[in-house]
Amino acid sequence: MTEPEPPRLLHNRFAQDARGVSRMRADETCFRRRGEPSFFHGERQDTSLPGWRRMLALIDEAAADGREVFRPLVELTPEERQDLVTLPPEIARLTRVTHLSLYGSPLVRIPPEIGAMVSLETFEPYTSRSLHWFPYELTRCPRLRRSTVSTRGLYGNYKFRPHFPQLPPEGTLPTATGLDPRVWGVEQISACSVCAGPIDPARFRQVWISLGIATDVLPLLVNACSAACVEALPTPHQGYVERPHRGGKSIVQPGPR
């Protein structure tokens, strides 16, 4: 009689990140009531906290040794991980990193400086339940080919079509720093997402666009310096809102699938 084959082991791409899984933020109720308006997370990043300082040290180490795989959360304690609202802009120094894993992170936003990670090939923020959107600057990573995102938690995702947060009117940016993230999504806007040029608050405009990034369709927040930069945006992914938009309940999305 033929011996039965042993059970096949399935490779867990996140095994090395097991210690980095963080519990979902206690106030994560963004999509609890379907059809209700969506809002940005309003948490501000406290840069005096131990978790932030430890993350800066890990970035320093990764930049110094030129590593290609960066899994910072496994080096943090659970308490340190909960100190993080976003990543430091210093991730722009990680130009040799090809694989960024943020599995199970408590992050609510990714900084636009991720666009400087020009060697990035694999981006894994899987089960980061409070990441509902990404910066348009992610399109500047020319080698990005693989992504693993919890798409059910994204604005405009094809399963539930939650609303996008309503963006402020054109030309209403009060200042480039010290912004209320509940309104603008971020705490500061230093440059145009499209052309990387300076921001004139009087001409500033924010829009949403859904694009295929690596293996996922992501809602991207565009901080544009002018109408011309908005017009220069690519065509949105098929099956999503057909044009750049300012969000809100008035935006008609395709039905869920």
When pLDDT is cut at 50, 70 and 90, the band that residue 126 belongs to is very high
Pull the structure tokens for residue 214.
């690596």
Q: Is residue 217 part of a domain?
A: yes
Is residue 139 helix, strand or coil? Answer: helix
* Structural domain boundaries, residue 39: 29-231
Q: Is residue 255 part of a domain?
A: no
Q: Is residue 57 part of a domain?
A: yes
pLDDT above 70: percentage of residues in the chain: 89
Residue type, 190: S
Q: Is residue 101 part of a domain?
A: yes
Residues, the chain, total? 257
Supply the pLDDT for residue 29. Answer: 67
Residue 99 to residue 123: CA distance in whole angstroms: 6
Supply the pLDDT for residue 35. Answer: 77
> What's the total number of domains in the chain?
1
Is residue 10 helix, strand or coil? Answer: coil
Instruction: Enter the pTM of the model.
Output: 0.90
Q: Is residue 245 part of a domain?
A: no
Q: Is residue 240 part of a domain?
A: no
Average pLDDT on 184-196 reads: 97
- Report which DSSP code applies to 55: H
Q: Is residue 241 part of a domain?
A: no
Q: Is residue 140 part of a domain?
A: yes
Contact 139, 220 (CB under 8 A): yes
Contact 207, 246 (CB under 8 A): yes
